[in-house]
Amino acid sequence: MLESTGTEIESSGRLGAILGVSVPETHRQMYAEAKQFADEVLIPAADLHDREESFPESQVNALAEKGFLGILAPEQYGGMGLDNLALTLALEEINRGCASTGVTLSVHNSLLSSPLLHFGTEEQKERFFPGLASGKSLGAYAITEPDHGSDALSIETTCRKEGDEWILNGTKAWITNGSRAGTIITFATMDPALRSKGINAFVVDPSMPGFSVGKKELKLGIRGSDTVQLVFDEMRVPAANLLGEEGQGFKIAMHTLDGGRVGIATQAVGIAQACLDAAVEFAEGHEMFGRRLADNQLVSHKIADMATRIEASRLLTLRAAMLKDAGAPHSRQASMAKLSASEIANDAARMALEIHGGAGIGRQSPIERLFRDAKICEIYEGTSQIQRLVIARHVRPDRS
């Protein structure tokens, strides 16, 4: 009988064997808790939040109570003080259950908490981490603009210093958690002519004068996540909220995006695994021409291809997370993980839909939602084309 693989990683002891290391008890417990939460809470509610385009507030609050919004936050500020491997294990299961909830947690942990941890001053950490770790303050990351997505060097949001404040002007677009965030990392340029050397990073919040939330984005998938425009109109930001040093913003953005790509790779693996689970369940439970679909060679080959590529993407993602935890270069591995995982997420959704046939097109099947949710994984945190450029730069010989 065909069996879905991947969601029983730790209970079968396979995780340690795959990674070749002893997995800490904290990680095993987190994985098991995330898996149970996905099965019992997220999956039953995922279709409803998708149809209503409603934010999964109760689910996010429950995860905050479990500590999942403070996975990377230091223990002295109320966080778990864990690593990116732990975050990756948890996020795969959360995304398997509901990609809208998953991207909410991913942005909060990998795009907000991580740069604050690496580049924030002790005063900034003391000020922001307690709220982030408890979930009282949701995090957002604002770099994308209406006319600038992949080209971060060309951002048009400006910043100028006046006394002990910075004045920001501009609009950010497609910002996950934007209207619900209490803590936002955003980027602005002192002078576009300075290119990378002119970009600053700031930690801002909605109470600052000149801040407003713009339009809500209407989306193809992950409709339960909060995605909006943010408007800065002479927004006054205290100088103490500058993250890192002046002109260091682009460096912070690129460092953060490597971690963000691991997060989206994890999301894609979770979506792909959900597609595989649904395909196996349907193939085992339905017959055609007097035999189970699972016994049809064409169907079994699709399932074999899905399982193999998902496992490969999972390994790439776990490796990138472990390299990040080790403080080793991981830009190439993060891009490889995101490229591989996002493409199998879309291919798995397509193959699962083909296995379901007409039953997969209707709203009564989770495949229709998963098919739409998968697409964004090839776009945000750097498109597949951008990932290929990054990978090629790392593997080509030095031409200088």
Mean pLDDT split into 10-residue runs, the chain, 400 residues? 43 51 84 96 97 97 97 97 96 98 97 96 98 97 90 92 97 97 98 95 97 96 98 98 97 93 97 97 84 87 96 95 94 97 98 92 90 97 94 78
* SS3 at position 213: strand
Q: How far apart are CA 59 and CA 326, in angstroms?
A: 32
**Are 264 and 342 contacting, i.e. CB atoms less than 8 angstroms apart?**
yes
Strand partners, 202: 186, 242
Beta bridge partners of 351: none
395, burial (CB in 10 Å: exposed 0-12, middle 13-18, buried 19+) = exposed
Predicted pLDDT at 150: 73
CATH (one of 1.10.3720.10, 2.130.10.10, 3.30.70.3040, 2.40.110.10) for 140-250: 2.40.110.10
Q: Write out pLDDT tens, residues 327-352.
A: 999 999 999 999 999 999 999 999 99
- In this predicted model, what pLDDT tens digit does every residue of 158-198 receive, in sequence order? 999 999 999 999 999 999 999 999 999 999 999 999 999 99
What predicted TM-score, i.e. pTM, was given to this entire model? Answer: 0.93
pLDDT for the residue 362 = 83
14-138 has which CATH code?
1.10.540.10
Closest CA to 375 of 350, 393, 352: 350
**Coil, strand, or helix at residue 202?**
strand
Q: Are 264 and 270 in contact (CB under 8 A)?
A: no
Q: Indicate where the chain has its CATH 2.40.110.10 domain(s).
A: 140-250
Q: What tokens does 146 get? A: 């209406």
What fold does the segment set 259-395 form as a domain? Answer: Butyryl-CoA Dehydrogenase, subunit A; domain 3 (1.20.140)
Q: Where in the chain is the domain with CATH 1.20.140.10?
A: 259-395
Q: What does 108-176 look like in DSSP terms, one character per residue? A: IIIIIIHHHHHH--HHHHHHHHHHHHHTSSEEEEE--BTTBSS-GGG---EEEEETTEEEEEEEEEEEE
Active site residue 156: no
Per-residue tokens: 201: 């990073």
Taking the C-alpha atoms of residue 234 and residue 170, their distance in angstroms, rounded to an integer, is 9
129-132 contacts at long range (C-beta below 8 A, 24 or more positions apart): 129/70, 129/73, 129/74, 129/77, 129/78, 129/79, 130/77, 130/78, 131/182, 131/183, 132/69, 132/70, 132/73, 132/79, 132/108, 132/183
Q: What was the pLDDT predicted at 151? A: 82
Q: Which two tokens stand for residue 272?
A: 């792909």
- CATH 1.10.540.10, the chain: domain bounds: 14-138
Distance from C-alpha of 21 to C-alpha of 42, rounded to nearest angstrom: 30
